């Protein structure tokens, strides 16, 4: 049984959509950093790096 320590509210995980994936690819090609891209898309840097 998995326990994700979500006691106060329901955890909400969201996949990247096609637009976000395209934006990530374009920004990486321009040489932008992972942290810069994460801020632009309001996502965690670890999400972008994966």
What pLDDT score was predicted for residue 11? 52
CA-angle at 13, arms to 11 and 15, nearest 5°: 175
What pLDDT score was predicted for residue 7? 58
Cα separation, 30 vs 14, in Å, equals 26
What pLDDT score was predicted for residue 14? 76
> Phi/psi of residue 37, each to 5°?
-65, -45
Residues of the chain with pLDDT under 70: 1-13
What pLDDT score was predicted for residue 50? 87
Cα separation, 21 vs 4, in Å, equals 26
CA atoms within 13 A on the CB side of 1: 2
**pTM assigned to the model:** 0.70
What pLDDT score was predicted for residue 19? 93
What pLDDT score was predicted for residue 29? 97
Please state the domain extents for the chain: 18-49
């Amino acid at each position: 049984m998995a326990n994700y320590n979500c006691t106060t509210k329901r955890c909400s995980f969201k996949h990247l959509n096609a637009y976000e994936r395209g934006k990530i690819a374009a920004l990486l090609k321009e040489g932008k950093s992972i942290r810069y891209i994460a801020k632009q898309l309001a996502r965690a840097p670890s999400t972008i790096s994966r």
